[in-house]
């Protein structure tokens, strides 16, 4: 499965910065060893259901350590029998664009 998620901690920082809390969540993802990609809005992780959800839960838990309230947005693509879709999906789109489709 692929799971794209965004964790939003509350903050009392006057600038609205959540950098440190989000960095802690991304650290959890990176330490998981699962394939992943972080963009400005979401982190996408690939693996089996239980392992992906365990990483998402740990990421939420580390943010909850510094935030009294945590928001989570999660979108999943569950497609049994497929692997390496984190990159393969993008490659198929790039190929279609190159082919003029």
Q: Give me the number of domains the chain comprises.
A: 1
What is the rounded distance in angstroms from the CA atom of residue 61 to the CA atom of residue 52?
14
5-29 pLDDT per residue, tens = 999 998 766 777 788 899 999 999 9
What are 8's two structure tokens?
């939003």
Distances (CA, A) of 35 to 14, 17, 98: 34, 27, 26
Q: Tell me the CATH number at 73.
A: 3.30.70.930
This prediction's pTM: 0.88
Please state which of the ranges 46-50, 57-61, 73-77, 97-101 shows the lowest mean pLDDT. 97-101
62-79 pLDDT per residue, tens = 999 988 899 999 999 999
Across the strands, what pairs with 75? 4
Domain with 45 in it:
2-98
């Amino acid at each position: 499965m692929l799971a794209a998620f965004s964790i939003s901690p509350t903050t009392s920082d006057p600038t609205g910065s959540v950098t440190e809390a989000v960095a802690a969540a991304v650290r959890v993802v990176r330490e998981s060893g699962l394939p992943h990609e972080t963009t400005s809005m979401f982190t996408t992780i690939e693996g089996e259901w239980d392992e992906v959800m365990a990483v998402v839960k740990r990421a939420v838990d580390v943010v909850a350590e510094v935030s009294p309230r945590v928001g989570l947005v999660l979108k999943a693509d569950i497609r049994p029998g497929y692997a390496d879709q984190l990159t393969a999906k993008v490659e198929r789109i790039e190929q279609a664009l190159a082919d003029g489709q």
